[in-house]
Chains A and B, each alone.
Chain A
Amino acid sequence: MPKVFNWQIGRDMDYLYEGARPKKQFGMVMDLNKCIACQTCTIACKTTWTSGRGQEYQFWNNVESKPYGYYPLGWDVRILEKLGVQPIDAGPYQGKTIFEAAPEGERVLGYRPEDMDYTSPNIGEDDSTGGIINEGGAYLQMPHMQWMFYLPRICNHCTYPACLGACPRQSVYKRPEDGIVLIDQERCRGYRECVKGCPYKKPFFNALNRTSEKCVGCYPAVEAGQQTRCTIGCIGKIRLQGFINTPDQAREDNPLDYIVHIAKVARPLFPQLGLEPNVYYIPPMHVPSWFLKQMFGATVDQAVNVYRRAAEDKKLLGALMLFGATKEISHHYKVDGDTVTGYTEQGDEIIRVPMHEPIFTRAVFDEKLQAYRSNIT
């Protein structure tokens, strides 16, 4: 198999094709500290893309609770179990990727979920770890012993997609212009090898069309310089979508590059699987480190620490202020004094966001009305 360089695992790895990075790479950052699982993103996606026949069960965007929520059922624990225990330490990844662990006669290590695995898309919603009642009223303690968090997911538009590698007839392709991964609906023959191969389970089989379908990265919007529907619909402003470079090409004025490569506050999901996924997560601060490590890599604690001190890094704070601020993609940004400005690819200004909300202090006694004010906040 050809060797390709995967910067997320810090080494060369086997892949089914020669490495060919796109001119630009679609990317997204999601702040897991801010997601409330309102599913507005899910519905924005659903109504835009998957209201057709055979797509009834499909959620190209979903939000699940962790550690006990899954869609489809057990997608992450099942592939991790198949991959087996692997060493996850700082430095180059010493374990196997799903390409390197492919069984004889297979293109990647994977499994095909069963139909029933998709029947409860919000299973495990809000389930937290541990017991409340059985463990003697732990709810009385601070901080809480129990934890959970929400994990919004779309296709990762991976640099080395397993869906693309798994398809024996090249029906899956990665666009050279923006790195978006698509399934050619004229060429697909419904073998479901992509459904089996993708560890994130983001290709879905349409049983009425008899082809597999997946998140299209809202490519018509992206082509027009706009962010995806799930991003602009997010009421919690937890997402920023744009383009990301490799670490050696990182541009300080690209908000995604700054967040991921320079501040290093966001991490890919299950980088050890070897796909170089391009959705990056700011890890939830309250979740134990041992859990975050298996999910976001060995050095995830550093990301949490950076996030805790985000207010000290004006450039980081500025990039975070762009979340949910525009429909358009901010290709460039600049922090000037107390304002962050976002720009299009051509350098046109699209947004100015104040870094601090103005605060007004009202006098206790209102001279005009000759009345005392009571604090009702």
Chain B
Amino acid sequence: MRYTGMVSRAALAAALLLAGTGMAAADDHLLVQRIAAGTGPVLDPDAGLWQQATPLTVALQAQMIATPVNAEPAVSALTVRAVHDGLWLTFQLRWDDPTKSDTIDLDRFGDQAAVELPVKAYDANNPPNPMMGDADQPVTIMQWRAALQRDQEQGEPKLPDIYPNAHIDFYTGDLLKPEEARAYTGAVGLGNPVSRVGKSPVLDQMAAGFGSLTVKPQQRAGAKGVWADGHWTVVIARPMKTDGEFDPKLAPGDGSVAAFAVWEGGKDETGSRKAWSDWVPLSLEK
């Protein structure tokens, strides 16, 4: 099914125009500001250069197309800034969240945020579906997870982190050689990327329709999130041009689109129960 979205062609045309001129962004599009070459990914959410980037308020709505849904997600808007140095594209996402949710157990879900980009060069006449893309037009989705961020800072979760008074004599797997113990480790042993943190608390993924979200073999994205005073500030970065089949290829001066999603773990938001945005036009400053 072809997506006929809400991004107006006029807004996109404006974005493309602005990209070439370095003018300030219009209200409904995101200007990716050029920063000094060689800066690389800006993985400090509080870095001073974010003060110079033009913020854009992006409205979020409930994901209501694919079940199950949460009709009233907790987060209704986020502030987005973006910069690039010619090689790396970095987004800064900031939203209100009264509770920091970075511990996962049966009752608790983690906070998450995602940036989505089209894989193919953006064509305003034939845009991909912003909701997970489609078979002809896959998308890249970089999803930052608070729980993975916590793992990176404090080490992998252990039973006493969740149940402080639990006592275990030993685990069968501990008595075995690593290759034999793998059978006792489930998803961790299989390298499931949601089970343990890799190099970064963000999952570099592709999707080509609902239910198809898959972590890419090559992880190129980086991220860091900081929670303070009732809001999260998260930066998510990726190289502008890499050769992966499902990696977007962007260059200074390009116009494209991005979409965003936020999950408020404190309200049990996970998977398809989320707040998402439609495509937001963006232009990469020359």
Q: Contact residues of A with B, CB < 8 Å?
A: 47, 51-56, 105-107, 112-115, 118, 166, 168-170, 185-193, 195, 205-211, 213
Q: Is the CB of B192 within 8 A of A168?
A: no
**Contact A52:B68 (CB < 8 A) given known A115-B107, A188-B192, A207-B104:** no
Residues of A close to B272: CB separation below 8 A: 168
- Give A65 to B255 CA distance when docked, in angstroms: 65
By secondary structure, the B interface counts as loop
Q: List chain B residues, Cβ under 8 A from A189.
A: 194, 271
A187 to B172, CA, bound (A): 25
| CB-based nearest B residue for A211 | B187
Beyond A206-B186, A209-B188, whether A107 also contacts B68 by CB under 8 A is yes
The interface residues of chain A lying within 8 Å CB-to-CB of B104 are 190, 207, 210
Complex CA gap A90/B105 in Å reads: 43
* CB pairs A–B below 8 angstroms (20 shown): A47-B172, A53-B173, A168-B68, A169-B212, A185-B186, A185-B190, A186-B192, A188-B187, A188-B194, A189-B194, A193-B271, A205-B105, A206-B187, A207-B105, A208-B162, A209-B187, A209-B188, A209-B192, A209-B195, A210-B194
Per-residue CB contact flags for chain B residues 194-222 toward chain A (1 = under 8 Å, else 0) read 11000000000000001111000000000
Known: A207-B104, A208-B159. A56 touches B185 (CB 8 A): no
The 9 closest A-B pairs by CB, nearest first: A191-B271, A105-B69, A207-B105, A52-B184, A51-B172, A211-B187, A185-B187, A209-B187, A115-B106
Asked if B68 and A193 make an inter-chain contact with CB atoms under 8 angstroms apart, the answer reads: yes
Write out, one digit per residue, whether chain B residues 58-93 have a CB within 8 A of any chain A CB (1) or not (0): 000000101111110000000000000000000000
A186-B187, A206-B187, A211-B195 known; A115 vs B211 contact (CB < 8 Å): no
Given A185-B187, A209-B187, answer yes or no on A52-B157 (Cβ-Cβ < 8 Å): no
Question: When chains A and B are docked, how far (Å) is the Cα of A31 from the Cα of B217?
Answer: 49
Query: Across the interface, which residues of B come within 8 angstroms of A186, CB to CB?
Result: 187, 190-192
Bound complex: CA of A186 vs CA of B168, how far in Å? 26
Enumerate chain A residues within 8 angstroms of B166, measured Cβ to Cβ. Answer: 56
Specify which chain B residues have a CB less than 8 angstroms from the CB of A56 in the assembled complex.
159, 166, 168
Which A residue's beta carbon lies closest to that of B70? Answer: A105
Q: Do A53 and B67 touch (CB < 8 A)? A: no
Rounded to whole Å, the gap between the CB of B215 and the closest CB of chain A is 9
Most buried by A among B68, B104, B168, B192: B68
B270 at the interface (CB under 8 A from A): yes
Pairwise interchain contact B271-A210, C-beta atoms closer than 8 A: no
Query: When chains A and B are docked, how far (Å) is the Cα of A210 from the Cα of B190?
Result: 13
